[in-house]
């Protein structure tokens, strides 16, 4: 098992990339399959990293909806045809 810091840094990097990729706004995101793919992939890997965090760190931040993030990952990986890009 890796140190939580490794996963936290990875999560922060995914967030940075998503912010960078969506800086052009919703219309640019919806118009570009490349941007959609990049954002969805980063959301997927970010959600995967949250599942690898220790229970102790998750308990320290109960305001974060860890189960919802895990459920969202399942949608991204297994129900990708049901993803609503307007909501993303």
CA-based nearest residue to 46, from 82, 20, 75, 70: 70
pTM of the predicted protein model: 0.89
Contact of 46 with 7, CB cutoff 8 Å: no
Per the residue annotation, which of 5, 33, 67, 78 is the catalytic one?
78
* Side-chain half-sphere exposure of 7, counting CA atoms within 13 A: 17
Tell me, yes or no, if 16 is annotated catalytic. Answer: no
Q: Are 53 and 7 in contact (CB under 8 A)?
A: yes
73 is catalytic: yes
Q: What is the largest CA-CA distance in the chain?
A: 41
CA distance 79 to 32: 20
| Tens of pLDDT, residue by residue, the chain (88 residues) | 579 999 999 999 999 999 999 999 999 999 999 999 999 999 999 999 999 999 999 999 999 999 999 999 999 999 888 899 998 8
Sorted by where each begins, the domain ranges of the chain are 4-82
């Amino acid at each position: 098992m890796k140190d939580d810091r490794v996963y936290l840094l990875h999560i922060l990097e995914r967030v940075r990339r998503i912010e960078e990729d969506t800086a052009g706004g919703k219309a640019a995101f919806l118009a570009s399959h490349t941007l959609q793919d990049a954002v969805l992939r980063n959301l997927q890997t970010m959600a995967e990293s949250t599942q690898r965090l220790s229970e102790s760190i998750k308990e320290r931040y109960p305001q974060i909806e860890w189960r919802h993030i895990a459920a969202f990952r399942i949608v991204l990986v297994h129900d990708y045809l049901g993803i609503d890009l307007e909501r993303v």
